[in-house]
Amino acid sequence: MAFPYMETVVGFMILMYIFETYLDLRQHTALKLPTLPKPLVGVISQEKFEKSRAYSIDKSYFHFVHEAVNVLMDTVILYFGFLPWFWKLSGEFLVYIGLNPENEIVHTLAFLAGVMIWSQVTDLPFSLYSTFVLEARHGFNKQTISLFFRDLVKGICLSIILGPPIVAAIIVIVQKGGPYLAIYLWGFMFVLSIVMMTLFPILIAPLFNKFTPLPDGVLREKIENLASSLKFPLKKLFVVDGSARSSHSNAYMYGFFNNKRIVLYDTLIQQCKNDEEVVAVIAHELGHWKLSHTKYSFIAMQVIAFMQFGGYAFVRNSKELFQSFGFDTQPVLIGLILFQHTIIPLQHLISFGFNHVSRAFEFQADAFAQKLGYKEALRAGLVKLQEENLSSMNTDPWYSAYHYSHPPLVERLAALDESDKKSD
């Protein structure tokens, strides 16, 4: 008797939805608590707490609806065989326009074009509501309708330009990979990830945001002095116009080897009380670099990717897998999609593990900034970012442990204080 892959995948999807909805309900209950956590009393203003509470509850309601619709659509698509139906439909469309559906690359691109149209149409109402109702209601959205759709069109155009050669390369590699398929696939994706990490901030990100050098002044001097003291090879220091789309704030760095760049959101500079708080946030980010967190994460991702490709190579010729989902042929891309569905349980475990490690890295980066003498400025900066982003003040411990890649503010402030006690 053939193994019921499809029924197992759908069953697990529903079980995970039930489990995650339970966690969402726990978090929703925590968000509705009318008082601040004791450690934040006197630290976070009551006005900001009330605004954060309202924003978090609104996002929670939206999340319930969005997730219910997603799991319903995914279940219907898999259980009622819409994937094989759409694969055949895309082949018929190719015949209609005079192209050969036996060419797997062409057939796959036609299939993906239809999937992209479907996903854009079904997700558009949620994106519009999230941006122009939910985010706007709480003062975050700065986008116009025209800017929103310009970004959408740019994203689609990038997919049309970048997608076909990548998909074609994957299909050719799988068709000709032989016993070394996993190595070839991993090697291709490794090179692709390096290329994209190099080109994205230089060629793609500027299509959506304006990057300008941080003007000369005290802030620039302090950041450059900090980078120099840590021997961080800072080449460029940018400010990005995040305020053109949202009031949310952030900072990040990118680049390989001795070609590093730091990017500050203009909202971060505006929201922090003084330059010292901004520098403290950068000290935290430099802590990730100094402690090799980015390197360790990248290596871990490569190991996991190689293991996944190894698993795919093992089952890619399984007729049972394809037949279970209603396919009578074995297209390369379809095989990858089905395989990804079958390892969803493993992916959840990996995500949980990554979140646990990420939280540990955040504590370490905070401690690094503290050792550099930025404890008070970092505390103030973390509090200011929590307030200005209206981040959740009350969090359920189970929800936080499962979902959060960053520790809640209460835990970060407590860790900074505990580190001080240990050093006394």
Question: Which one-letter amino acid corresponds to residue 39?
Answer: P
As a whole number of angstroms, the distance between CA 273 and CA 384 comes to 8
Q: What is the spatial distance between Cα 138 and Cα 62, in angstroms, rounded to a whole number?
A: 14
Cβ neighbours of 182 (radius 10 Å): 19
Annotated binding-site members for Zn(2+): 284, 288, 362
Q: Is 241 helix (H, G, I), strand (E, B) or coil?
A: coil
pLDDT at 228: 92
Annotated binding site: 284, 288, 362
Lowest mean pLDDT segment, chosen from 136-145, 199-208, 336-345, 350-359: 199-208
Mean pLDDT within 116-137? 95
Split at pLDDT 50, 70, 90, the class of 250 is: confident
Residues 322-352: pLDDT tens digits? Answer: 999 999 999 999 999 999 999 998 999 999 9
pLDDT grade for 178, boundaries at 50, 70 and 90: confident
pLDDT class for 42, splitting at 50, 70, 90? confident
Q: Alpha carbon of 175 to those of 164, 218, 340, 367: distances in Å?
A: 16, 58, 19, 50
> What's the mean pLDDT in 140-150?
93
Given this model, what pLDDT does residue 198 score? 83
In angstroms, rounded to a whole number, what is the distance separating the alpha carbons of residues 370 and 373?
A: 5
Distance CA 305, CA 178 (A): 18
% of the chain at pLDDT higher than 70: 98
**The pLDDT of residue 422:** 60
The catalytically annotated residue of 277, 366, 388, 411 is 366
Element (H, E) at 132: none
Active-site residue 366, yes or no? yes
- Given 104, 285, 388, 411, the catalytic residue: 285
Q: How far apart are CA 281 and CA 375, in angstroms?
A: 10
Residues 157, 409 contacting (CB under 8 angstroms): no
Q: Which residue has the tokens 């975050």?
A: 140
Alpha carbon dihedral 352, 345, 322, 317, in 10-degree steps, equals 70
H or E element in which residue 289 lies: helix 275-290
Q: State the amino acid at position 293 in one-letter form.
A: H
R_g of the chain computed on alpha carbons: 24
Q: Which range in 241-245, 374-378, 386-390 is most confidently predicted, on average pLDDT?
A: 374-378
Residue 240 to residue 221: CA distance in whole angstroms? 18
